[in-house]
């Protein structure tokens, strides 16, 4: 299998990032919303690239000692290969090195694959937000201790 590269997503990757998350997520960010992340000092946009192609993306903010996770997306053609796990493991390690002691996220209650991944990486269910998503679906709140 071809090796992958992990690096910060940059402005030159915006079109690819937008396209990836648009096809991978039920509630994607707008193009302008993604572009704004490049100027946000809290933002940690990270991509996993294969042969220069963005195949998985992460978006989160490091706020003092908490990594707030907003997006983990893998392109449809590259799912079930452990890439989301590889990307998230890398980001969690970097956040820990940067002083984060916890990581938090929301996930659709119907997203069993993502929930299983998060649990496997040490996240626990910390609550629920009723009707959180635009279509009315509930979200599970999840938290991981990073120390």
If you average pLDDT over every residue of the chain, what do you get?
92
Distance CA 55, CA 51 (A): 10
> What is the DSSP code string of 70-115?
EEEEE-GGGTTSSHHHHHHHHHHHHHHHTT--EEEEEEETT-HHHH
Matching residue, tokens 């907003």: 70
pLDDT over 90 (residue 84): no
Distance CA 111, CA 19 (A): 21
Q: Name the catalytic one among 118, 128, 133, 137.
A: 118
pLDDT computed for residue 1 by the predictor = 54
Q: Could you tell me which of 126, 128, 130 has the C-alpha nearest to residue 143?
A: 126
Question: Which class would CATH give 5-145?
Answer: alpha beta
> For 113-119, what is the mean pLDDT?
93
Show me where the domains of the chain are located.
5-145
Q: Name the catalytic one among 53, 106, 133, 137.
A: 106
User: Known catalytic residue: 118?
Assistant: yes
Distance CA 103, CA 62 (A): 9
Question: At 2, is the pLDDT very low, low, confident or very high (cuts 50, 70, 90)?
Answer: low
Percent of the chain with pLDDT over 90: 75
Distance CA 70, CA 34 (A): 11
> For 82-100, what is the mean pLDDT?
92
Q: Which residue has the higher pLDDT, 117 or 75?
A: 117
User: Known catalytic residue: 37?
Assistant: no
Question: Is the torsion defined by CA of 129, 133, 138, 140 positive or negative?
Answer: negative
Query: Tens of pLDDT along 14-65?
Result: 999 999 988 888 778 889 999 999 999 999 999 999 998 999 999 999 999 9
pTM of the model: 0.91
């Amino acid at each position: 299998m071809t090796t992958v590269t992990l690096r910060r997503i940059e402005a030159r990757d915006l079109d690819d990032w937008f396209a990836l998350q648009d096809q991978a997520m039920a509630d994607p960010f707008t193009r302008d919303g993604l572009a704004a992340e490049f100027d946000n000092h809290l933002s940690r946009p990270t991509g996993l690239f294969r042969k220069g192609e963005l195949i998985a993306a992460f978006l989160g903010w490091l706020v003092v000692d908490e990594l707030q996770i907003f997006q983990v997306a893998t392109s449809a053609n590259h799912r079930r290969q452990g890439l989301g796990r590889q990307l998230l493991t890398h980001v969690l390690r970097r956040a820990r090195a940067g002083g984060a002691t916890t990581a938090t996220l929301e996930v659709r209650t119907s997203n069993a694959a993502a929930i299983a991944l998060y649990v496997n990486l040490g996240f626990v269910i910390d609550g629920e937000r009723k009707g959180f998503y635009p279509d009315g679906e509930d979200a599970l709140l999840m938290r991981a201790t990073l120390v």
